Structure 1
Amino acid sequence: MFRLSLNNFCRQSIAATTPLSRLPVQHHSFTTSQTRHASKKPTMSSTVSSIVENVQTTLSENFGRSAQAAAPTGTHFSLDDVPDQTGKVAVITGGSEGIGYGSSHTLLSKNISKIFIISLSKEVVEGAKKSVAEELGQDKADRTHWYQCDMGDWKKVAEVSREIAKQTDRVDILINNAARGIMTYQLTDYGVDRHMAVNHMGHVILTSHLLPLMKKTASNGSKVRIVNFASNAHESSPKDTQFKSIDDLNKDLGAMPQYGRAKLTSILYSKYLNRHLTSQHPNILANAVHPGVVKTKMSQEDIHEPYPLAGYMMSVGLTPFKKDQFEGALSCMYAATVTTNSGEYICPPATVEPGSDLANNEQLGEDLMKLTRDLITEKTKKDSVDKGCPMKDY
């Protein structure tokens, strides 16, 4: 079976933040095994056609520039297709740089009324706000409200969440983008793996605190969209991944698998929200997205922390093919402003993919969220849970 994948390439060169495994794609209504049984004797033309389509999908999902034009029919989407956002309010983590900035900038260009941006670096925030003023006008810059916060500091996340809730009467879009990249194993002050604490659990706290506002917005007839940033790197999560205990979380898996496991949780969390939240509140949609190989601080600088030499393949070797921050925001903008579906894993430009077997393991998702609730309750009960963080099945 033909398979187009950069997973092995990533493991060998320790290069890409996003392994590009693409067969089968979900343009078809059946799985690889079903395809095999349905067409035991494929014709040469159908085989060639399938290969061509999957090459096109791989290129368009992961690389920038002209590769975007290679997207198969029915999956095309551009930032020009983002609808007017007048009257809407968004919350974006990591929204002052990289893909997050591309998302913030796009929403502001589409007249969003207000954006709350949570960012780690004050200097980056100031630079981003200046750029918005220069490129879109001071009026658009004034629509942004910036909060400095490390998503691994759960007490601070809870404080910022409550402050945001005081400043708005609605939330239409929540983009959980901030993340620890491909870096070495480290524990937070809570004694939890930093990848999991930042990429997943901090965002669960934020989402939970904002949930009452999102429910209110949805009850008035508006679509509310939650976007969790995943990656094709989720396929690098160990096949025996479990979320039964903190010991499972705190295993040093190595930089790439550690990152991949954290990205896996974004898909599991989105599907969990679809089962428990969207089922009760149909106007609230939750989806995970893969941005592609994007030129960001994560792929240009952070990669050298675990891989001082091999990381140059990612930071330098792939640079000519990488997306810029706006191209990297395509799947996010589709999920945040257009889709009417929930519980999906969306790749650029607007392609729904199945994800790995682990990403579709419902019990694994339930275990993840039970452990997440238990840990957050244990570590932040008085700082977060007792102050409005509804750590329950929504």
Structure 2
Amino acid sequence: METIKNTLAQNFGGNLSKLGTNQFSLDDCPHLTGKVGVVTGGTRGIGYGVAYTFLKHNISKLYLISVNEEVAERAKKSIASELGEEVASRIRWIKCDLSDWNHIKSVAESIANDTDRLDILVNNSGRGVMTPERTSYGVDRHMAVNHIGHVVLTSQLLPLLKKTAEKGNVVRISNQASTSHNSAPEDTKFDSLDDINRDVGANAQYGRSKLANILYARYFDRNVTQKGHPNLLMNATHPGVVSTKQSKTDIHEPFPIAGYAVSTLLEPFKKSNFEGAIPTVFAATTTTAGGQYICPPATPEKGSELAQSDKLADNLMELTRKVVSEKTPGIEVAI
């Protein structure tokens, strides 16, 4: 019965969320006075819910990374209207496509030059369930954006993150994963570019990138947190079934007709973007452990067998380093 309750709480909104074993709400977010954060995709959807919550709880400076300036302006105006102009003035919007790893390096450098600390990094932005496509680097777009782009960003910001942690602050990184990681092909090896470029269909393509988000958190915990940086924590989260552009519009790109089951029939049961933000806010502000896969509201789960494999995580990160170095010489994946 507890498993059923947790499954309902993890995936659907409203009163069902109260069935979860470990409760947490956005009101439980601690005061963030003096802290600095980065949220990718922070101008709409779940990312906006996260950003709004951080600002409401008095974060001192917040960098929002996204691609659409018009959407970013609307988000800032909405925050100014609801939380005040002074709060909105703490936002620093930066335009960046996470499939452009060279640009990510420049963005990270600009952030590092603008602040002397970084307490929170939310790797939230991503490509949803859409048809397979390759970037200009010749890499599957789901993996290039959802996983590799965030690894590049994290690596470039790592010196600043470590510096902040070494001063006695608990620094937290949250990767936006999904229960859809269960859709990753069972024969996923992460041992070559050909492996991640395989066309396995929209659902599996997305699931494979979400599997990578979990494995990266567990790899980071083993190789950074447990090896000399106990105040630097990385976790992965599952938001639940959330009403966002991905679930209302993008789903029709791979599934023009069948997508209505997700975009329309499921809509009354979906979480709002603020409800979807809850596990990320918990992971980014409150958790005291790393290497976890956190499901709503704040319950660590094991995930799939693939998600628990240290060998697969090692393969993933070795491949990530190789692909980045070959496609963008001069960019180092530090972890």
TM-fit CA distance, 1:54: 1.6
TM-fit CA distance, 1:107: 0.3
TM-fit CA distance, 1:392: 3.6
Of 122, 138, 142, which aligns to 2:89?
Answer: 142
1:94-130 per-residue CA deviation (whole Å, 9 max, x = no partner) reads: 0000000000000000000000010111111010000
Q: Which residue of 1 aligns with 2:15?
A: 66
Name the amino acid aligned to 1:119.
Answer: S
For residues 249-328 of structure 1, the aligned pairs below 5 Å read 249-279=196-226, 280-328=228-276
1:139-166 per-residue CA deviation (whole Å, 9 max, x = no partner) reads: 1110000011110011111111111111
Q: Which residue of 2 aligns with 1:44?
A: none
Asked whether 1:190 is paired with 2:146, we answer no
Q: Which residue of 2 aligns with 1:162?
A: 109
Name the amino acid aligned to 1:305.
Answer: E
For residues 57-206 of structure 1, the aligned pairs below 5 Å read 57-72=6-21, 75-206=22-153
Task: Report the 3-state secondary structure (helix = DSSP H, G, I; strand = E; otherwise coil) of the residue aligned with 1:90.
Answer: strand
How many angstroms apart in 2 are the aligned matches of 1:55 and 1:371? 37
How many angstroms apart in 1 are the aligned matches of 2:320 and 2:230? 24
1:178-201 per-residue CA deviation (whole Å, 9 max, x = no partner) reads: 000000010000000000000000
How many angstroms apart in 1 are the aligned matches of 2:217 and 2:308? 11
How many angstroms apart in 2 are the aligned matches of 1:126 and 1:325? 18
Asked whether 1:223 is paired with 2:170, we answer yes
How many angstroms apart in 2 are the aligned matches of 1:67 and 1:214? 36
For residues 375-394 of structure 1, the aligned pairs below 5 Å read 375-382=323-330, 385=331, 389=332, 391-393=333-335
1:263-317 per-residue CA deviation (whole Å, 9 max, x = no partner) reads: 0000000000001110120000010000000000000000000000000000001
Asked whether 1:334 is paired with 2:282, we answer yes
Task: Report the 3-state secondary structure (helix = DSSP H, G, I; strand = E; otherwise coil) of the residue aligned with 1:282.
Answer: coil
How many angstroms apart in 2 are the aligned matches of 1:299 and 1:255? 13
Q: Which runs of 4+ in 1 moved over 2 A?
A: none
Structure 1 length-normalised TM: 0.84
1:312-360 per-residue CA deviation (whole Å, 9 max, x = no partner) reads: 0000011001110110000001100110000000000011100000001
1:164-185 per-residue CA deviation (whole Å, 9 max, x = no partner) reads: 1111101100000000000001
How many angstroms apart in 2 are the aligned matches of 1:259 and 1:318? 19
How many angstroms apart in 1 are the aligned matches of 2:334 and 2:178? 26
User: Highest CA radius of gyration, 1 or 2?
Assistant: 1
Structure 2 length-normalised TM: 0.99
Percent identity (aligned): 55
1:27-52 per-residue CA deviation (whole Å, 9 max, x = no partner) reads: xxxxxxxxxxxxxxxxxxxxxxxxx2
How many angstroms apart in 2 are the aligned matches of 1:246 and 1:186? 14
Alignment root-mean-square deviation, CA: 0.7
TM-fit CA distance, 1:55: 1.8
> Number of residue pairs matched?
334
How many angstroms apart in 1 are the aligned matches of 2:205 and 2:84? 41
Q: Which residue of 1 aligns with 2:293?
A: 345
How many angstroms apart in 2 are the aligned matches of 1:166 and 1:379? 26
Asked whether 1:53 is paired with 2:2, we answer yes
Task: Report the 3-state secondary structure (helix = DSSP H, G, I; strand = E; otherwise coil) of the residue aligned with 1:218.
Answer: helix
Asked whether 1:240 is paired with 2:194, we answer no
1:190-231 per-residue CA deviation (whole Å, 9 max, x = no partner) reads: 000000000000001100010000000000000000100100
